[in-house]
Structure 1
Amino acid sequence: MTKNAKMIQLDLEKISLPGLDLERPWMIAGPCSAETEEQVLETATQLSEAGYKIFRAGIWKPRTRPGAFEGVGTLGLPWLKRVKEETGMFVGTEVANANHVFEAIKAGIDILWIGARTTANPFAVQEIADALKGVDLPVLVKNPVNPDLELWIGALERVNQAGIKKLAAIHRGFSTYDKSKYRNHPQWQIPIELKRRIPNLPIICDPSHIGGKSELIYEISQEAMDLNFDGLLVESHRCPAKAWSDASQQVTPTELKEITDKIVLRAPQIGQKPRVTLDQLRREIDKLDDSVLEVLQKRMEISEAIGIYKKENNITILQTRRYDEIMNDRKERGAKLGLSEEFLTALFEDIHQESVARQNKIMNK
């Protein structure tokens, strides 16, 4: 993220739907994919009976590998129309190109969103933005798959410049190579910075894609509400075990009701507009410190493996040339990130000392 980046003012208006004033927390729920007309209608009916007003279902599904279920396509749009007619719910789906936009609008879809893979491609976002000109619908923009805040902001700006004023962001986490309990690591500091940069922008959370597992939905949802997010986009299926896509991260409508009933809503500071609070920032520091500790643990495990190698090959622990290379490289790279030389020297001296101590124990067992 750019240090001390300037705030951005988008031309936005409050998001609402005919007869439904979206108050915090918004709740958008439904299956990852529309599979059959029966599955869509049964799931929507159960969600409607549980009190949910906005139904989501994937019509077009961009998949990582060929051969995976990529959605039923336009065949499923009349199913969503039936949901509106028979339950009174509003309906939303993801669009990935201009044709999707045209087909969704023609079918009377109430809410559109741009997925993470699409947000990562400015050409695709611009194509969608051009197709949205003259349209007065709420449009939600998911964060890109990679943790690039400027790319996320750029997508929001493109859609806003097309005349879409009912605009919001969806935080669905970020891909990471490192192993984590999450499918997509939340990196909460990024949506927090987005809120700082664009204070009038609503942000909702997609706990299903962040967690990747149904048992994490409550925890992530509560955290999003504690950070003053505006709502949740949750995947709910009549029978998650039989879902054609992302089965492990979906819950039944009954389970979703149990989750949302447990969520505690905390008020923003009295007499002030919602903003990032000191407690929220401290929670982010706690999370980042956890990440630092995990990285240090992994680093020490590698140092110990190096110690075993040195012992087996009768090599001295201290390698002065390597130590100098590390110190010079880390100070140079850290300086580009705004970190002082004194801090980096002290930090990596301590890390090196701990590594030497661990290798010394191995060497002298």
Structure 2
Amino acid sequence: MQLMKFNPTKSFFTELQAGQGHPLVIAGPCSAETEEQVMQTAAALKQQNVHLFRAGIWKPRTRPGSFEGVGSKGLAWLNRVKRELGMRVAIEVATARHVEEALKQEIDVLWIGARTTVNPFAVQEIADALQGVNVPVMVKNPVNPDLALWIGAIERMYHAGVTDLAAIHRGFSSYQKSKYRNVPVWQIPIELKARYQSLPMIVDPSHIGGKRDLIFPVSQKALDLGYDGMMIETHLTPDKALSDAEQQVTPDALKAILAKLQVRKTNYDDAELVNRAEELRLQIDAADHDIIAALGRRMALVEQIGEYKKLNNVQVLQLERWKEIFRSRGEWAEDAGLNHAFIEELYKLIHVESIRKQTQILDGDR
């Protein structure tokens, strides 16, 4: 199914930052805790020309008993931010009732969270509640690294008549140890952006990093990849926050982060640089051709080993060989100045494909 064709010249999100020369900035506390906290935080962020003030009203928590948000009464606080400070406001919605209550309080922008995106029934319920309503919607990636689910949630919003859409990349859950709270898996949002180039892409470095010292590097990485903006959780006293304390920053810290960020040019603006870049790209194409040819030769050898194993009734998986490949290839990578972890991941894919080919041969299904 073909996704909608976005028109960035008419997008709510692109118009928010039009002519400002810096990325879209969405900031505010993880959770609205008190009316005073909301107003004071919003006032501090208004001085920094933040485009959208965000605050969690309903908080989906993993286990009961933790702070799950102040609920509907917090909507009136955000409405006050609109009226008294003239700021646009955004909240997360997870049910049709959330949508209805948010619209009654004239909330400007809604977003669908990662725990909701993973459930097409819940997404459709929200889409049905938005039928005929002209409100911008941001869709966070699902908890697990599933591009189809992310696209499906965006499509459901579009088919409900929502045309002002943006995607939020907040990282993905992983069973592996990582310095991130939610690993970025950058190739998934890159693929989304490649398919739908005009879809505004916003990074959520707070949820990706899980720690405030990772907010700047994650934000800069996203800008380097052409993202349109960032959503950063900001709290007056982060260490006392009722939710996600470690990943929130003060308004002053946010100001320092934004001041350090560099926005790159979208392309080369000099003919000589364009020509040089094209020369390097041609060399990269040639190198890729060599890599693929080498992989073809390797897989031909793998098939020969598969035939030999079949002839001698030997099982496919040889654990010692598996261990030897990852040990030696990592060492070769370091000798060549390559990242050890990158080569390890690459050879996991190569070895899985090798096992698949050999299994087909042993099963007689070539």
Could you say which TM-score interval applies, normalised by the shorter chain?
A: 0.7 to 0.9
What does residue 15 of structure 1 align with?
11
Q: Does the Cα contact within 8 Å between 1:111 and 1:138 map onto a contact in 2?
A: yes
Which of residues 138, 144, 160 in structure 1 aligns to 2:142? Answer: 144
Give the distance between the partners of 2:151 and 2:13, measured in 1 at CA. Answer: 24
Alignment partner for residue 130 of structure 1, among 115, 119, 128? Answer: 128
Pick aligned residue for 2:193 from 186, 192, 195:
195
Q: How far 1:270 sits from its partner (Å)? A: 4.3
* Aligned match of 1:61: 59
Of the three residues 242, 245, 270, the one matched with 1:244 is: 242
Counterpart in 1 of 2:97?
Answer: 99
Task: Report 1:156-305 matches (<5 A).
Answer: 156-270=154-268
Normalised to the residue count of structure 2, the TM-score between the two structures is 0.73
Which consecutive residues of structure 2, in runs of 5 or more, have no partner in the other structure? 270-277, 285-311, 323-348, 359-366
Counterpart-to-counterpart distance in 1, 2:223 and 2:244: 24
- Aligned residue pairs total 288
Q: Which amino acid aligns with 1:15?
A: S
Give 1:206 shift. 0.2
Using the size of structure 1 for normalisation, the TM-score is 0.73
Structure 1: how far apart are the matches of 2:26 and 2:313? Answer: 54
Structure 1 unaligned residues grouped into runs of 5+? 1-5, 272-276, 283-320, 331-338, 349-365
Q: Indicate conservation of the 8 Å contact 1:140/1:170, yes or no.
A: yes
Identity %: 58
Residue 324 of structure 1 corresponds to: 315
Per-residue deviation at 1:269? 1.4
CA contact (8 A) 2:127 2:157 kept: yes
Worse-matched range after superposition: 129-138 or 30-39? 129-138
Q: Would the alpha carbon gap of residues 256 and 322 (structure 1) be closer, same or farther in structure 2, given more than 3 Å must change? A: farther
Change (3 A) 1:325 1:18: closer
Question: Residue type of the partner of 1:324?
Answer: Q
Matched residues in 2 for 1:241 and 1:235: separation? Answer: 13
| Letter matched to residue 344 of structure 1 | S
Does the CA contact (< 8 Å) of 1:11 and 1:160 recur in 2? no
**Residue pair 2:14, 2:200 contacting (<8 A) in 1 also:** no
Cα deviation for residue 92 of structure 1 reads 0.3
Is the contact between residue 50 and residue 254 of structure 1 (CA under 8 Å) also seen in structure 2? no
- Helix, strand or coil for the counterpart of 1:73? coil
Q: Give 3-state SS (helix, strand or coil) of 1:324's partner.
A: coil
Deviation (angstroms), 1:20: 4.0
Contact 1:172 1:207 in 2 (8 A): yes
Alpha carbons 2:17, 2:24 under 8 Å: kept: no
